[in-house]
Amino acid sequence: MFMRVPSFACCLSLAALLLGARSEALELPMPTDDGDVVGQVQVIQAKYEDTFADLGERYDLGYLELVAANPGVDPWLPGEGTEVVLPTRYILPAVPREGIVINLAEYRMYYFPKDRDVVHTYPLGIGREGWSSPVAVTRITAKTPNPAWYPPQSIRDEHAANGDPLPRVVPPGPDNPLGPFKFNLSLPSYLIHGSNKKFGIGMRVSHGCFRMYNQHVLALAEMVPVGTPVRIINEPYKLGLSNGKLYLEAHAPLEDDEPISLTEKHAAVVNTLLNHDQVTASLRLDWEMIRDIVAAEDGLPVQIAESSEALASQFETAF
């Protein structure tokens, strides 16, 4: 049986390197073994004044993924010296690694530039209940710095009903909810944009658009050309190989109606396993570990199997 704990010894040594160069956290080298896992988990000690919202902006993470990775820690007052897990290790989504990939279930974007063997990843705010972000294949159709906002009539009606009427046009500036930059998609009415609010990145807060930290949307604007493909998926369970070992990463499924039962979650994981081309008879799955991962939904990749080839290699090395 595999122990369900991150390798904090190596994480702590790596964290010292990563924390000194914050921008590096956004750019991760692609796996050298043709695998699917990038990055490393980090562990830091919170300062007295830290909140998860502050730590999210500082370390390029969303609010809910920090909450999921740190059960039992108060997100508004972790406390001086409290160890906080930064979930900065990811299984890449099982879709073509090109352009932009958005996985709604993990509130996260991946950008695969054409000319470099790296991936850039950013937390996102997505559509709230009743205004869900769509699952679709689309593309970037326009890029606009300092955009004005033209609220749709449906949003104006909602604000008016709440006693907060909106003008027909909100000019660029600190009161503009689109922040300093927007990307138009070929999906009508949906945008990728910045925000005039720091809180909400990594949560279900928007009317369907994708919100980013302002520094992230500006960095993305420098790299992503018009015409870039955008694939939007909703995959709470991701599988990936790294050095012959199979990993599972589980996130809480998005719920708009009835709560999703544990039985339904287990069925979804089994379906993911059955449809993954790397899951073969040579892999010995740890089903107890799989159940624990699904129950935890902490977004951390955890080993659930090792191939017979990898086991044989270890045996030969040991003897």
Active-site positions read 193, 209
Tell me the C-alpha distance between 166 and 146, whole Å. Answer: 19
For 296, counting Cβ atoms within 10 Å of its Cβ (0-12 exposed, 13-18 middle, 19+ buried), the class is middle
Question: Which residues are within 8 A (CB) of 63 and not within 5 positions of it... i.e. 6 or more apart?
Answer: 52, 53, 56, 75, 199, 200, 201, 202, 203
DSSP string, 99-149: EEEEEGGGTEEEEE-TTSSEEEEEE-BEEPTTSPPPPEEEEEEEEEES--B
Q: Identify the three-state secondary structure at position 260.
A: coil
Q: Identify the three-state secondary structure at position 224.
A: coil
